[in-house]
Amino acid sequence: MVQTAERLTSTASERYLLVYMILVLIIITSLVIVFFVVFQKRKNKLLQERIKQQQAFEAEIIQAQTEAQEQTLKNIGWELHDNVGQLLSFASMQLSILKMQVADNVRDKFKDTTEALSNGLKEVRALSKTLNNDVILNIGFEKSITNELDRMKKMKFASAELKIIGDKVEFKDRKHEIIIFRILQEFLSNSVKYSEAENISITLDYKPESIIITAKDDGKGFSVNDIEQGSGLINMKSRATLIQAKFELTSHPNEGVELVLNYPLS
């Protein structure tokens, strides 16, 4: 009887010890899991903070670059309007005076030169306006695009049209109008230099939550995978990133180029 009781006591002790060890193991395992979860959350938080800091730093760099570029364009616009424009005006005036002093049979020879000089003066003045932010904001986003397309049409294209869909929606920041206009201006400049296109169009699709801006040309196009990331393309992407707009450029050989900007209103 005594041995039986001792065995029962020993068995119970072993069970208690086993239960105790299991509980300790569960507690240790739980603590390890909690520690791991807390560590992962802390790690993810630090990574997110680092990513946000990096994004903020990059945004500041892009902002500084954009502001420097805008100031440079503004200075060039002033130079064109004040200096080059005045020189062309003076040359045009002198040519008109000279024209009046020559014989009638010679005056017709001045016609083409006078017309070319007059058109050059108009082009310089129009270009100087597109480089000045204050002028763009004053006349408005849509009118600025129309003026730029008219200028492109006079230079090269058979047609350069602006299409508007939906009711006009205001930008959440008027500075963003300038940034998008500069992106479109870069697209148009590339079309003039490289596309060999005859027709170009820009569409503004106003939606309740976004504005979708599409620019197209019918030029020779290119393979997006093969093209080098030049300064023009980098500038367009950087400016789109600055205003949190989705940027998409698509093209195929002999199929033209299409640029789509999705600008969020909130």
Q: What is the mean pLDDT of each run of 10 residues along the chain (266 residues)?
A: 55 71 83 83 76 60 57 60 63 68 65 72 72 80 90 85 92 88 89 89 94 94 71 82 91 91 92
Question: For residue 196, what are the domain limits?
Answer: 157-266
Same domain for 172 and 125: no
Could you tell me if residue 139 is inside a domain? Answer: no
Same domain for 173 and 84: no
Alpha helices in the chain (DSSP H): 2-79, 85-101, 104-107, 111-130, 133-139, 141-155, 174-190, 231-242
- Cα separation, 64 vs 162, whole angstroms: 31
Give the pLDDT confidence score for residue 200 in this predicted structure: 94
Q: Order across the sheet with 159-165: list the strands.
A: 159-165, 199-206, 210-217, 257-264, 246-251
Same domain for 111 and 35: yes
Find, among 204, 207, 217, the residue nearest to 249 by Cα. Answer: 217
Number of domains in the chain: 2
How far, CA to CA in Å, does 234 sit from each of 55, 204, 216? 17, 23, 19
Could you tell me if residue 80 is inside a domain? Answer: yes
- Cα separation, 136 vs 228, whole angstroms: 31
Pair 256, 213: CB distance under 8 Å: no
Same domain for 39 and 2: yes
Residue 178: count of CB within 10 angstroms of its CB: 22
Same domain for 1 and 122: yes
| End position of a domain, from candidates 90, 114, 131 | 131
Same domain for 216 and 176: yes
Same domain for 166 and 114: no
- Cα separation, 81 vs 86, whole angstroms: 7
State the sign of the Cα–Cα–Cα–Cα dihedral 92, 95, 96, 97: positive
Overall pTM surpassing 0.75 (yes/no): no
Same domain for 189 and 112: no
- 99: tokens are 């024209």
Could you tell me if residue 140 is inside a domain? Answer: no
- 63: tokens are 């902002």
Give strand ranges (E) for 59-165: 159-165
User: Which domain CATH number covers 215?
Assistant: 3.30.565.10
Same domain for 122 and 3: yes
Could you tell me if residue 141 is inside a domain? Answer: no
Pair 242, 193: CB distance under 8 Å: no
Same domain for 101 and 9: yes
How far, CA to CA in Å, does 105 sit from each of 97, 101, 115, 116, 192? 16, 12, 18, 20, 39
Give the pLDDT confidence score for residue 154 in this predicted structure: 80
Find, among 54, 65, 60, 68, the residue nearest to 235 by Cα. Answer: 65
Residue 147: count of CB within 10 angstroms of its CB: 16
Give the pLDDT confidence score for residue 32 in this predicted structure: 84
